[in-house]
Amino acid sequence: MKLFSFILFFITPLILTAQDKLYADEKYYEDQLYIGVQYNSFVTYNKGINNNGVPYSFDAGFIKDMPLNKKRNIGLGIGIGYSYDILRPNITATPNGTNFDYAISNDFSSYKYQSHNIEIPFEFRWRTSTPTNNSFWRIYTGASAVYNISSKTEFNVGSKTVTYSDLEDLTKINYTVYTSIGLGTWNLHLKYYLKSPFKDSVRTIDDQKLSFNQLKIGVLFYIL
């Protein structure tokens, strides 16, 4: 009896510790850092607007996981991130007093619209994760608000570079819809911008609306 009591005295704390660990594992969260690289294509409604060069983007941020069910394979996510975008539409900007004149033109050898942005994503999350499995299938679909911190526009003609900073005709706040599909760390990422990079009021010198939307296609890496 004394031996049984002695064993029970030492075994009970170990059992309780194991139970606590199992309970903690069952309450896991998929909080994640993410890093992404995408090709910046666009959907255009203007004849003559084309990409010049290779437009691209870089994304990084953090998403907080909020499971919705007991299995924790369905949830929501909200986060904050940073994006760096390079767009290369063949659209020129020429100063005209305090304003700018815009034109769809192939007169320059290089076009670059560069922007730094803060992004707030909110997404629905489905996955095949378990408390002990970190490599699982996922489909994360959501929307985000994008705020432009700063921008720079450059045009090259031969050895000459023309640069403008923070053009007021560029959209300051944009919205996106996106989806990420993948297994483990690697994920296909698609993101569509609901507004044009240019404000709705902007027109070219021949009265065309600069109507086109960003479409990002690339990969997103989730880091647990």
Better-predicted residue by pLDDT, 5 or 14:
5
Statement: residue 189 has pLDDT above 50: yes
The answer as to whether 11 is a domain residue is no
Q: How many CB atoms lie within 10 A of CB 166?
A: 13
| Average pLDDT score, the chain | 85
Would residue 48 count as lying in a domain?
yes
Q: What is the CATH number of the domain that holds 186?
A: 2.40.160.20
| Token pair for 150 | 């700063």
Kindly report, residue by residue over 70-90, the tens digit of the pLDDT.
888 899 999 999 999 999 999
Judge whether 8 lies within some domain.
Answer: no
- 143 within a domain of the structure (yes/no): yes
pLDDT recorded at residue 209? 87
Residue 5 in domain: no
Query: Is 13 part of any domain?
Result: no
pLDDT digits (tens, 9 = 90+) for 126-143: 998 877 777 789 999 999
Q: Count up the domains in the chain and report the number.
A: 1
For residue 21, tell me if it sits in a domain: no
For residue 127 the two structure tokens come to 């996955």
CA angle 142, 146, 151 (to 5 degrees): 150
Check residue 214 and give its pLDDT. Answer: 93
Average pLDDT over residues 50-61: 91
Query: Are 60 and 89 a contacting pair, CB within 8 Å?
Result: no
Burial annotation 185-207 (CB, 10 A radius, 16+ → b, else e) = eebebbbbbebbbbeeebebeee
**Residue 95: which domain range?**
30-223
Question: Which tokens in the block code for residue 75?
Answer: 């949830």
Whether residue 20 lies inside any domain: the answer is no
Residue 14: pLDDT over 70: no
What is the pTM (predicted TM-score) of this model?
A: 0.83
Q: Can you give the pLDDT at residue 221? A: 93
